[in-house]
Amino acid sequence: MFTFNKNYFTVAILLFVIEVLIAVFVHDSFVRPYLGDVLIVILIYCFIKSFLKLAVVPVVLFVLAFSFTIEYLQYLDIVHTLHLENSKIARTILGTSFSWIDLLTYLIGLLIVMLLEKYGLKKDLNTI
């Protein structure tokens, strides 16, 4: 069950760097709010697959549940409830505003994962 997959880890690190660059330098109305959310679930998926040898569907379902839970916590205004509104890190990681569209972006990201896993990502990852 425990493993280290350098290919998934490499993709996770690459996506993390892209997410940081988006957070720091991109302040638009598409890439940051939508593409960033699509990429974050792919990053989480790849990070989990870096260390756990699990089938695709259980990991996808876990990442979906995790993402939806974070979004629900945003709905509950958890950052304010925990008195973390002055913490830029907490505001960035947990988010501050619920959006139905975010749920859709998470689904899109995980659909991309499933398509890539089924139609060739494994082959490509093994050649990195």
DSSP string, 86-124: T-HHHHHHH-S---HHHHHHHHHHHHHHHHHHHTTHHHH
Q: Tokens standing for 91?
A: 């505001």
- Residue 122 corresponds to which amino acid? K
**What predicted TM-score, i.e. pTM, was given to this entire model?**
0.88
> What pLDDT is recorded for position 123?
56
At how many degrees (to 10) do helices 6-25 and 36-51 cross?
150
Q: How big is the CA angle at 93 (ends 61 and 121), to the nearest 5 degrees?
A: 40
> What pLDDT is recorded for position 101?
96
| Tokens 């989990």 belong to residue | 48
CA–CA separation, 46 and 40 (whole Å): 10
> What pLDDT is recorded for position 88?
85
> What pLDDT is recorded for position 84?
92
pLDDT in tens, the chain (128 residues): 899 999 999 999 999 999 999 988 999 999 988 999 999 999 999 999 999 999 999 999 999 999 999 999 999 999 999 999 899 888 878 888 899 999 999 999 999 999 999 987 555 555 54
> What pLDDT is recorded for position 23?
87
If you write DSSP's letter for every residue of 29-61 in order, what string do you get? SSIIIIIHHHHHHHHHHHHHHHHB---HHHHHH
> What pLDDT is recorded for position 126?
55
